[in-house]
Structure 1
Amino acid sequence: MLFMVEMTVRIPHSADPQAVDKLKADEKAFSQQLQREGKWRHLWRVVGQYANVSIFDVKDNDELHTLLTSLPLYPYMEMKVTPLAQHGSAIAQN
């Protein structure tokens, strides 16, 4: 199943900078692992924001939920999840 996930990160200014750097490094490693596995198909930065739009290809809602809540930055994220379906006029198939 394909899902579009819009993520906005809001880390408090009072957070320890070293802890934040560690979270960001862990997030990058985990996201790249999921990309190599084919579960995180697209990752796009939203210009001018600490945000992204991503496309996930997972088995079901539960797998997506488990994956998203496992992200190291999850406690600081606001997310909007949209299930996707193939469009009848699309030339390319997912």
Structure 2
Amino acid sequence: MLFKVSMNVRLPHTMPREEADRLKAAERALAQDLQRSGKWRHLWRVAGRYANVSIFDVADSTELHDTLMSLPLFPYMDIDVEALCRHPSSIHDDDR
């Protein structure tokens, strides 16, 4: 299943820089592994915000939930999820 996931990160201003840097590095590593596996299909930054819009390709909503909860920055995210399905007017035969 494809899901559009909007993530807005809100790190506390009181968080020590070293802790924030450690979390960001762990987040990057996991996000890149998930992209290599094909589960995190697309990742776009939202200009001017510490936020992204992503497309996930996972078996179901439970796998998406577990994946999102595994993200190191998850406790500091506001997340919005939308399930996607093919539009009948799409000219593509795949999920590009």
SS in 2 for 1:78: strand
- Runs ≥4 residues deviating over 3 A: none
SS in 2 for 1:43: strand
- TM superposition shift of 1:91: 1.2
Matching residue of 2:10: 10
**Equivalence map 1:63-74=2 (5 Å):** 63-74=63-74
Matching residue of 2:87: 87
- TM superposition shift of 1:40: 0.1
Unaligned runs of 5+ in 2: none
Distance in 2 between the 1:72 and 1:61 partners? 19
CA RMSD of aligned residues (A): 0.4
Matching residue of 1:39: 39
TM-score between both structures, scaled by the size of structure 2: 0.97
Distance in 1 between the 2:91 and 2:31 partners? 28
Sequence identity percentage = 59
- TM superposition shift of 1:8: 0.1
Amino acid at match of 1:26: A
C-alpha deviations, 1:10-60, integer Å up to 9, x for none? 001000110110000000000000000000000000000000000000000
- TM superposition shift of 1:66: 0.2
